[in-house]
Structure 1
Amino acid sequence: MTDFTLQTAASSKLADFSALELAQALSEKLTITDRDWHRLKNDRKARSREQIAVALVFLLKDQPEEALLRLQQASGWLDRSISAPPCESHKHKS
């Protein structure tokens, strides 16, 4: 099989899903899980990708205000105007 044949087969399978279903799958794929949280919590590209995927889901669900909030967060990760809060398990007890 050629690369083109594989791409065509993949495209054909993807055509079976709605844009919302594809966006939700992408969002799930890019979500930072609890297992990866410490490793990726400060990874600005990973955090931005996660927020952009969620924004796309909200936009496809006709919730532009929620989409905009996620896009603003994604932008904040990229321009370094936001940072990860401290982990709950690492906060100092007073």
Structure 2
Amino acid sequence: MSQSAQLPNTGQLNQLSTLELAQALMERLSISPNDWHRLKSNRKVRASEQAAAALVFLLKDEPQEALLRLQQASGWLDRSISAPPCPTHGENKK
């Protein structure tokens, strides 16, 4: 296994709950406001973001919310959904 592919210290990970790990992953995969315009249509990024959110909801025993996020992730991957236009650049701008 290459140095960059090695997992972090297992002891450190064992200090966190499964929910905390999922929340950390969701935070890592969320698009920051500064990157929104650049990544809003990136299907891999958007699917990853939604799948991580689904995991958090599932671990919080909120299966309906988890299912909605999984459907969103699936929609990004199968190209059945696309990013909506930016509200600050849309036709309804006043």
Instruction: Check whether TM > 0.5.
Output: yes
Q: For residue 26 of structure 2, what is the aligned residue in structure 1?
A: 27
Q: Spell out, residue by residue over 1:40-72, the C-alpha distance to the aligned partner (whole angstroms, 9 max, x if none).
A: 000000000000000000000000110000000
Amino acid at match of 2:46: R
The 5 A counterparts of 1:57-68 are 57-68=56-67
Structure 1 stretches (4+) deviating beyond 3 angstroms? Answer: none
- In structure 2, do the counterparts of structure 1 residues 88 and 59 end up closer, same or farther at CA, with 3 Å as the change threshold? same
Q: For residue 90 of structure 1, what is the aligned residue in structure 2?
A: 89
Instruction: State which structure, 1 or 2, has the greater radius of gyration over its C-alpha atoms.
Output: 1
User: Once the 2 structures are TM-superposed, how far is the Cα of residue 12 of structure 1 from its aligned partner?
Assistant: 1.0
- In structure 2, do the counterparts of structure 1 residues 42 and 13 end up closer, same or farther at CA, with 3 Å as the change threshold? same
Percentage of pairs with the same residue: 63
Identify unmatched segments of 5+ residues in structure 2.
none
Q: For residue 40 of structure 1, what is the aligned residue in structure 2?
A: 39
TM-score by length of 1: 0.89
Structure with greater helix share of residues:
1
Q: Distance in 2 between matches of 1:93 and 1:43?
A: 24
Identify unmatched segments of 5+ residues in structure 1.
none
SS in 1 for 2:19: helix
TM-score by length of 2: 0.89
| C-alpha RMSD of the superposition | 1.6
